[in-house]
Amino acid sequence: MSFPFNLSQKLGLDLDKHIAIDAGAGTGKTAVMAERYVQHLLTEFQRAKQLLPNGPRTPIQGQGALRTPARERSKLVEWKGLLPSEVVAITFTRKAASELRSRIRKRLAQTDTNLHAINSGDVEMLLGNLEDAPISTIDAFLARLVTPYLDILTSQPTGEQIAEVRSPMLISETINSAWRIRTVYDADEAGILGDRQGFIDARNNLAILLGGQRNAEVVLAGLLNTSLFVEETKRNIKHKSAQKGIDWRETEPVDSEIILDLIGHPAEPFISTIYNELRGVLNNWLDIYLEHHQQYILACEQEIGTNNTRFNQLVELGRNINPGNSIDQLQWVWLIAVCCTSKSSLDNKSPTHFPRNRLPNGDGWHGGIQTNAKTELSNSVKSDISTQATALIQQIRTVLNSNEGKLAKILGRSSFTFEPRIRLDFLPEESPLNYTDITDDLTVEPPNGRTRITKQLQLSVLKDLLVVHKGCQQILTLRKSQEGVHDFDDIQRLAADLLLAKCPDIIRYDYPIEVVDTLDNLGSEPWTDSHLHRARDLIASKYPEWREDFERRVGILKTIRQEYLAFIVDEYQDTNPAHFRLLARLWGPRKINEDLDSHGPWDPTICIVGDMKQSIYRFRQAEVTVMRRTVESIKRVNKVEYQNTDFRFRDLSYGRDPRPVKGLNAFTSGIAKSSELPKGAGEWNTIDLNRSDNGDMITDDDIIDSRRNGHIDLTSNHRTAHDLLHTLNKIFADVFDPRHHSLPGDYHAKAQALNPAKQDTPHGKLEWLMPLRLEDLEHPTNNQLFNESNPTPIQLEHEMIALRLQNLLQGVPCKVWNSKDKSFMTLEKPNELIEPSDVTILIHSRTHITDLINRLQARGIPVISDKQGQLLTQPIVENLMSALDLIAHPKSKYAAASLAKSPIIGLTDEALNKLFTENAESENWWIVLADNVSNERLKNLLGHINKQLKGYNVYNILNDILDNSDLLFAHPEDSSRQNAEQWCDLVYHIGKECGHNPAEIFAQLDSLQKLGSKGPQASATPSSGAVKIMTVHGAKGLESKVVVVSGMFQAGRYDANITTRENVLVTPEIISGRINPWASLDRPEDGLWEFTKSFNSAQNQAERRREFYVALTRVEHHLIIVGNSTNSGTICSKTGMLQFTSKPWENTMGHMWMEGLRSIAFKENLVDSPWLKPDDLSGAKSRDYGRA
């Protein structure tokens, strides 16, 4: 960072407290982390040094480790600051760790030894120790912790990390092993521990209830791929059960009250208000017709011959049913909606309540109110009744269609389907609205009509899912052990055992069950050791034979804690709950019997850095809620420490920048203790808490208090042009507005206005490319795609991107439509020439990436993608696979035909037909191919390959093909070359495992190919001088002068379908499998599934909004939005304005974009804005904007 730190960044350097840095996009958080790390090393007067003794300081071993003589450097044990080995820096990726280490090294090398009053060799000493410092990803750090103690953690230590391509295959093999188990003996051989018969029974139940073995396999694969969420679910269920005094075990069904509490929790803040308001309006509406009971109600009942009507059911609900808790009130609201809405409408996303201002008569359930035409009342009375009833119906609709009302209906439906508590006594038995309950006693013939899964069956399936998941994990663990490999989940579990976050697995079946349960009960504050104290007391009183083993493990934990005095954790918003618990275990007291009130609950100094608006890795089981809760914990812990500690250099009215300032030699070696610091010297290194980065006074006491307690917001953006940033701020204010929340929760990010750090930058640019086919407008370019009758939207988008970038890179001015002149006008020629490397195209999926690349390359634009989908489906890889097939199977006619048609040989159809006509079979098709090619160089290549077939020379053969055939001429792209190299590396690694046998290598590659999207992915390192195509996830942390965001109106459209495709939903709160014993029928209604789907959908939508934020904040100067929800439009003949109707899908980024524009127009009262809806600015309607 070449610019000086602003005030907020300086507050982030404060070493006297725990810090949570909430860093918006482009605010320089990496520079702050690097500087904070360096100050931990150089500063004597900091919290960690005042409260804690040094860690074990071991000199670098080996001759010549340090060139500086000992007299020119401080001894390690006497060093006044921290050592690199005592400061942990955690990053999200290995690349980020390498960058952070490089920044720290560069900054440390620039240290002014005179300013810091240190010896000349001290900097080299710190740099030497930096190489072995714990600056890494969380997985690498946990592996570093675990490795020295493997002998006490596992009986079968493994040697290496499992290959990325092997992992999905191993999961598939694990599931196959689970289905092969028939007896308890088989289960024992497969690696199942505990109740083996219970595993077999649970697996068989799932196969029946989920619609067959294939569906069950998909569910199990989904569970194994989200194991961290499954473990988190079990923890939450166990915790909630304990709160109710229930000793729950995963082999037992969950208590139904736990599920109902989970369903009802989101509605607790508002359900009583909604219920009371709706009940009052409903009764007023009922009174209108009950006042004329004879004419409207009795007359109708006599005509239809029954009193089982919707009206009478509403009377029963409004007059006689008085729900006493939130669940009953939710079900009451739902049943009101059921009574006043037809079933077909109720299943829609936007149901119509009281169609035509009346109760519906469909679904075999009459409304129960006589029509006005048949009522024997005067016209004036009927008119008055209709007017009053219509006004009240509108009020009922308003309540039911409000955000709270929609949520109440979702939760009410889920709870009613899970466990109905209110009867519909006036629903006719023959109505299709009635349910047939499905229990575990399934009939041979499927039931007719509407079906519902009973509460007992839903809970039974949840139990079976947990049992089978645990069993499959045990099978997977054994298989990995047999292969001598481990994965990140294994390291994480071993780390949890080492840090006593749970009972270690190696002794789980040896320790008494009481001790195991106590050790597993970590609690909600994982840094505490209260569970260890309880276990120690239990062992001392009942099981003294286990005391030595237990104390040895506790002692190791305390020893590990003593090594680390400070933590800096980057990208904390993408930390999952399990990683948080493991890190927090290192923050606890390092003495076995330390009084927690000695200074506070945390020993080391903690700094977390992240941005909750950029948490987009939920598919990797990261949870944004972890950061929100940790921020609150940091503020709370700091308050405790302020009461228990008193540092002379700490002033709670200010923050402190620990860096010394020239001319004020306050950190000289003559000062021996903090009490000798100059009194009143804070003015040179103190930071005002009530000043913004630009020096303005902050009047918000909450912000000042948050800063004092360690929560620092970085809001000065150094990346994006100032005017473009102001526009994006307005967009994001609406994107994160609570009006868009479908379910409340702490997983929603809050808007954070970013301030441009530089006001003198050139003006930014914002474009929106809308691919529209205008039939009444002659296109100025002969573009065949736009002249086609039915081009796909994605093709139109890609074509517009290619056209726009071609002009941009060539410096050609664009033409835009001028509505006043009704003609195209040419814009000014760009002043600045854009290079291809300045452009990044962001996509939300790689499904159509080939089409985009082809269109860009057709216009001479160099382009490369970081990933291009499945590796084994890339064209150059398919050609190499055909060669490998023939190497492995020289007799295969199919392999010979594939190779002959590929660019490696390039036979025409005529030549190929002649070849196989003359040679029906062959013992070696390589010889036949060599005899039938006319090119002498190719003939020599095929002959040379044939000579190498006798040995396992597969790698040499493949290299010869790449070096001497026309394959790379046919695929000249840089990405194709990298794909070929990646495939060859894959072949080599597989060959090492199977003895370099080409047939075995091909068989394994064929198995990988069958994994589809879960198989190996094609990746390429973007080269300089090319336009980069990346997903939003791949671009996180990067920036580009020009950013093109493609597919906005498709991103998020199919989220719900993709999520439910595996027939299992896993969240940290609950798990649900989609029960359907009869695959030929519609799926039964399942309350637990509906709730989990709604909860999961809400979290997915919240993450999609954060992804939208990440995409748009990558830009420096020029942002191009691409897409529209429609491809057709017209030009108004009178005004010349472009006219089109756009209604994007609600969950898409395109909808967020248009709602953001609408929000800007609404807030700034832009009456003529095309983005406003008709009623947005019309009188009282403006108040309803928040419910749009």
Mean of all residue pLDDT scores within the chain:
87
Task: Please state, in angstroms and rounded to a whole number, the distance separating the CA atoms of residues 86 and 55.
Answer: 7
- Specify whether 828 is located in the same domain as 769: yes
Does residue 1106 fall inside a structural domain?
Answer: no
Does residue 1062 fall inside a structural domain?
Answer: no
What would the mean pLDDT of 442-467 be, rounded to a whole number? 89
- Specify whether 608 is located in the same domain as 692: yes
Q: What percent of the chain has pLDDT over 70?
A: 93
Q: Tell me if 224 sits within 8 A of 217, measured CB to CB.
A: no
Tokens of residue 602, six digits: 């945390």
Q: Tell me if 101 sits within 8 A of 84, measured CB to CB.
A: no
Instruction: Report whether pLDDT(1058) > 60.
Output: no
Q: DSSP state, 316?
A: I
Does residue 540 fall inside a structural domain?
Answer: no
What would the mean pLDDT of 631-635 be, rounded to a whole number? 95
What would the mean pLDDT of 607-634 be, rounded to a whole number? 90
- Specify whether 709 is located in the same domain as 839: no
- Specify whether 692 is located in the same domain as 728: no
Tokens of residue 1097, six digits: 């959908």
pLDDT in tens, 839-897: 999 998 888 888 898 899 888 898 888 777 788 888 999 999 999 999 999 999 999 99
- Residue 968's domain spans which residues? 869-1019
Q: Tell me if 1047 sits within 8 A of 845, measured CB to CB.
A: yes
Q: Which residue has the higher pLDDT, 440 or 391?
A: 391
Instruction: Report whether pLDDT(682) > 60.
Output: no
- Specify whether 776 is located in the same domain as 910: no
Instruction: Report whether pLDDT(681) > 50.
Output: no
Residue that the structure tokens 């709670």 belong to? 652
Specify the pLDDT at position 1180: 40
Specify the pLDDT at position 1017: 82
- Specify whether 985 is located in the same domain as 1046: no
Instruction: Select from 404, 427, 261 the least CA-distant residue to 333.
Output: 404
What would the mean pLDDT of 1049-1075 be, rounded to a whole number? 75
Confidence band of 1051 (pLDDT split at 50, 70, 90): confident
Does residue 273 fall inside a structural domain?
Answer: yes
Q: Tell me if 461 sits within 8 A of 205, measured CB to CB.
A: yes
Specify the pLDDT at position 1056: 54
Tokens of residue 1122, six digits: 């691409």
Does residue 1150 fall inside a structural domain?
Answer: yes
Task: Please state, in angstroms and rounded to a whole number, the distance separating the CA atoms of residues 161 and 146.
Answer: 14
Does residue 855 fall inside a structural domain?
Answer: yes
Task: Please state, in angstroms and rounded to a whole number, the distance separating the CA atoms of residues 501 and 1063.
Answer: 32
Specify the pLDDT at position 349: 79
Confidence band of 759 (pLDDT split at 50, 70, 90): confident
Global pTM?
0.87
Q: H or E element: which one contains 880? A: helix 875-888
Instruction: Report whether pLDDT(1181) > 80.
Output: no
Task: Please state, in angstroms and rounded to a whole number, the distance separating the CA atoms of residues 745 and 1069.
Answer: 12
Instruction: Report whether pLDDT(1025) > 90.
Output: no
- Specify whether 861 is located in the same domain as 978: no
Specify the pLDDT at position 1182: 38
- Amino acid identity of residue 776, one-letter, is D
pLDDT in tens, 720-737: 999 999 999 999 999 999
Residue after which a domain boundary falls, among 393, 410, 434: 434
Specify the pLDDT at position 468: 94
Q: For residue 978, give the CATH number of its domain.
A: 1.10.486.10
What would the mean pLDDT of 608-634 be, rounded to a whole number? 90
Specify the pLDDT at position 1057: 55
- Name residues whose C-beta falls within 8 Å of residue 52's C-beta, 6 or more positions apart in sequence: 565, 590, 603, 604
Does residue 229 fall inside a structural domain?
Answer: no
Confidence band of 70 (pLDDT split at 50, 70, 90): low
pLDDT in tens, 1131-1174: 887 887 888 887 888 889 999 999 999 999 998 888 888 888 87
Count of CB atoms within 10 A of residue 484's CB? Answer: 12
How many domains is the chain partitioned into structurally?
5
Instruction: Report whether pLDDT(665) > 80.
Output: no
Instruction: Report whether pLDDT(326) > 90.
Output: yes
Specify the pLDDT at position 649: 83
Specify the pLDDT at position 1187: 42
Q: State whether residue 90 is helix, strand or coil.
A: strand
Instruction: Report whether pLDDT(597) > 70.
Output: no
Q: Tell me if 962 sits within 8 A of 980, measured CB to CB.
A: yes
Residue that the structure tokens 């070493």 belong to? 15
- Specify whether 1003 is located in the same domain as 1032: no
Task: Please state, in angstroms and rounded to a whole number, the distance separating the CA atoms of residues 663 and 1144.
Answer: 62
Q: Which residue has the higher pLDDT, 261 or 831?
A: 261
Confidence band of 385 (pLDDT split at 50, 70, 90): very high
Does residue 197 fall inside a structural domain?
Answer: no
- Specify whether 834 is located in the same domain as 885: no
Specify the pLDDT at position 935: 87
Q: State whether residue 1064 is helix, strand or coil.
A: strand
Q: For residue 638, give the CATH number of its domain.
A: 3.40.50
Specify the pLDDT at position 1171: 87
- Specify whether 705 is located in the same domain as 782: no
Give the angle subtended at the CA of 907 by the CAs of 903 and 912, to the nearest 5°.
140
Instruction: Report whether pLDDT(787) > 70.
Output: no
- Specify whether 1007 is located in the same domain as 902: yes
Q: What percent of the chain has pLDDT over 90?
A: 48
Instruction: Report whether pLDDT(174) > 70.
Output: yes
Specify the pLDDT at position 1014: 77
- Specify whether 847 is located in the same domain as 885: no
Specify the pLDDT at position 59: 67
Count of CB atoms within 10 A of residue 483's CB? Answer: 15
Instruction: Select from 718, 657, 659 the least CA-distant residue to 687.
Output: 657
Radius of gyration, CA atoms only, the chain: 34
Residue that the structure tokens 């017209």 belong to? 1130
Q: State whether residue 451 is helix, strand or coil.
A: strand
